[in-house]
Amino acid sequence: MSDIVPTLRKWTSARVGIGRCGGSLPHRELLDFRLSHARARDAVHQAFDPAGLAVELEAAGRPVLLARSQAPDRATYLQRPDLGRQLDPDSLARLSAARADHDLAIILADGLSATAAHRQGPPLLAALLPLLETWSLAPLIIAPFARVALQDPIGHALGARASLILLGERPGLGAPDSLGAYLVHGPVPGNTDAMRNCVSNIRPAGLPPAAAARRIAWLLEQSRRLGFSGVDLKDRSDAPRIGA
């Protein structure tokens, strides 16, 4: 086993071949585990800065709107997932006022890792938006305390034919800054998760933002062409092209 450990560690960040000290972990591995656990907890509770992100994204030339779920704070958000799936009345009115004939609404949210939203959100958008030049985009939405399904009332209020939400994933012991991207065709309250497609583990040590942007753009284009999303839309973005 010891002979293959160095090879395995080249291909995974999982804790393989960590050894033991008697019946326990080696001291260094125990400390590393505790550090990773602390980073994961910090990612869940880190404060989200929607105003700062809005300034950063507006500097890139995109209009930005802020929207809130019905979760008033992080403690409630963690205990009441249902509130994170619903827009608060003021946000619903503000987004409805911006309703137009949009192809796509894009939302950036903290989810369960504000760290991920701040680190991966801007570079992912910088790579993705140039790939969507043929799309009519609604103003970018920044939404604190959002769950995935908040993309439905947001997209519906804006009159968008599709909705894409980028939000921090549940932190793992080796990945406190992983972003997930969820798209749905025909956003409307009541959509199920079976109607969504997900691109996950977006981070430099996982799926880098530039590669994630290409995969998301491919899925969006196929969804637009076929008129649906979800379990019937298979990700074949890496499949070789015929004649290539």
Stretch 67-76: mean pLDDT: 94
Whether 143 is covered by a domain: the verdict is yes
CB 160 within 8 A of CB 138: yes
Whether 56 is covered by a domain: the verdict is yes
Reply yes or no on whether the pLDDT at 244 is more than 70. no
- 48 vs 56: CA distance, rounded Å: 14
Reply yes or no on whether the pLDDT at 1 is more than 60. no
Whether 239 is covered by a domain: the verdict is no
Domain containing 66 equals 50-226
pLDDT at 239: 64
Whether 236 is covered by a domain: the verdict is no
- 130 vs 178: CA distance, rounded Å: 22
Number of domains comprising the chain:
1
Whether 5 is covered by a domain: the verdict is no
Whether 39 is covered by a domain: the verdict is no
Task: Name beta bridge partners: 66.
Answer: 142
- Range with lowest mean pLDDT among 22-26, 113-117, 122-126, 199-203: 22-26
Among 183, 242, 187, smallest CA distance to 218 is for: 183
Reply yes or no on whether the pLDDT at 73 is more than 80. yes
pLDDT at 89: 96
Among 101, 98, 217, 225, smallest CA distance to 164 is for: 217
CB environment 155-176: b (16+ within 10 A), e (fewer): bbbbbbbbbbbbbbbebebebb
Q: Which CATH number belongs to the domain containing residue 168 in this structure? A: 3.40.50.11240
Among 52, 216, 76, smallest CA distance to 147 is for: 76
pLDDT at 242: 45
pLDDT at 46: 77
Residues 6+ away with beta carbon under 8 Å from 98: 65, 138, 139, 158
Reported as a single tens digit per residue, the pLDDT across 142-161 is 999 999 999 999 999 999 99
Its pTM stands at 0.85
Whether 200 is covered by a domain: the verdict is yes
